[in-house]
């Protein structure tokens, strides 16, 4: 492997030997690599790539621009076999790997811990292209899809930790998920349950109140009855006695 593409969090391309990011200021070439990384072994047609990146261009001109972009990337990276396929394009896995591909592989083999380690943030977080609403919609769809997959893996790990009677580990996992989506009622509920199981009544109350405050201020909605009930239960519990040893 000669290059690695990061898409979960910031979008960046680096040589495996390290150093500064490559093609850092060339946003459409990087976007092209991200599209191909998500496509994986299936590949994606040139026409679809063109529709995402140059939606307003004439067909023949856009095909020429795409061809030139592919050529420029091969030249810049010194890899004539960077891309595979003709009608359907895909990245050459012997030359370039991506975190989104590694994330998919970890999920496929049931390695939730590895998958959550790989997921370092929302897909293409903060990355936008001007005059490409179709690309932005595609990014939003992929971001939501990958975030849901991440949440599923976190939930698996947290429930397994509770099953092993490791509520503190479970709380740390739920806390990571609530950091991604503080409005996720299921994650907040899991976090509160884990805190209470760990004897952390103040933490359970604090996280629940933070969640309810966010709902009222940001979304102007009433907090979920389950969360309100958990807070009431936590407040009703006697505080743990201080150690007398």
Tokens coding 234:
């936590």
150/138 Cα distance (integer angstroms): 18
CA distance 143 to 160: 26
- What fold does the segment set 165-236 form as a domain? 1.25.40
The CATH architecture assigned to 3-135 reads Orthogonal Bundle (1.10)
Q: Which two tokens stand for residue 126?
A: 């903060």
Question: Tokens representing 139?
Answer: 């990014």
Average of per-residue pLDDT across 76-86: 93
pLDDT at residue number 134:
92
Which residues in the chain are classed under CATH 1.10.10.10? 3-135
pLDDT tens for each residue of 134-147: 999 999 999 999 99
Q: Answer whether residue 235 shows pLDDT above 50.
A: yes
State yes or no: pLDDT of 241 exceeds 50: no
Q: What was the pLDDT predicted at 216?
A: 87
pLDDT of residue 218: 85
- Mean pLDDT over residues 43-61, rounded? 89
Kindly compute the dihedral angle of the four CA atoms of residues 123, 72, 14, 36, in this order, to the nearest 10 degrees: 30
pLDDT band at 238 (very low <50, low <70, confident <90, very high): low
**Residue 117 structure tokens:** 């380690």
Lowest-pLDDT choice from 22-31, 42-51, 204-213: 22-31
Helix (H) or strand (E) holding 191, with range, is helix 185-197
Ramachandran angles phi, psi of 83, nearest 5°: -115, 150
Beta bridge partners of 8: 123
pLDDT in tens, 170-212: 999 999 999 989 989 999 999 999 999 999 999 999 999 899 8
Could you write out the DSSP letters of every residue in 113-124? HHHHHH--SSBT
Which residue in 103, 104, 105, 83 sits closest to 95, CA to CA? 83
Residues facing 5 on adjacent strands: 13, 98
Which two structure tokens, joined as six digits, stand for 4? 């690695």
Kindly report which listed range (138-142, 148-152, 181-185, 221-225) carries the lowest average pLDDT score.
221-225
**Domain boundaries for CATH 1.25.40.10 within the chain:** 165-236
171 vs 225, higher pLDDT: 171
Out of 9-13, 56-60, 64-68, 142-146, least confident range: 56-60
- The four Cα atoms 49, 83, 23, 139 give a dihedral, to 10 degrees, of 30
């Amino acid at each position: 492997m000669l290059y690695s593409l990061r898409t979960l969090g910031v979008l960046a391309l680096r040589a495996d030997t390290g150093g500064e990011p490559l093609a850092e200021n060339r946003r459409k070439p990087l976007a092209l690599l991200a599209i191909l990384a998500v496509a994986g072994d299936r590949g994606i047609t040139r026409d679809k790539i063109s529709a995402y990146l140059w939606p307003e261009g004439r067909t023949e001109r856009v095909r020429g621009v795409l061809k030139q972009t592919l050529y420029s990337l091969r030249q810049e990276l010194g890899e004539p076999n960077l891309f595979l396929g003709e009608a359907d394009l895909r990245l050459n896995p012997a030359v370039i790997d991506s975190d989104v591909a590694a994330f998919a592989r970890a999920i496929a083999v049931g390695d939730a811990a590895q998958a959550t380690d790989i997921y370092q943030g929302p897909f293409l977080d903060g990355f936008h292209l001007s005059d490409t609403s179709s690309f932005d919609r595609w990014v939003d769809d992929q971001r939501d899809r990958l975030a849901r997959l991440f949440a599923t893996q976190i939930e698996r790990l947290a429930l397994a930790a509770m099953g092993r009677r490791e509520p503190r580990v479970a709380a740390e996992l739920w806390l990571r998920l609530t950091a991604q989506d503080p409005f996720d009622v299921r994650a907040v509920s899991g976090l509160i349950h884990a805190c209470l199981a760990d004897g952390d009544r103040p933490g359970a109350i604090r996280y629940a109140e933070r969640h309810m405050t966010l709902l009222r201020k940001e979304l102007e909605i009433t907090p979920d009855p389950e969360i309100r009930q958990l807070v009431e239960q936590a407040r009703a519990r006697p505080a743990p006695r201080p150690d007398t040893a």
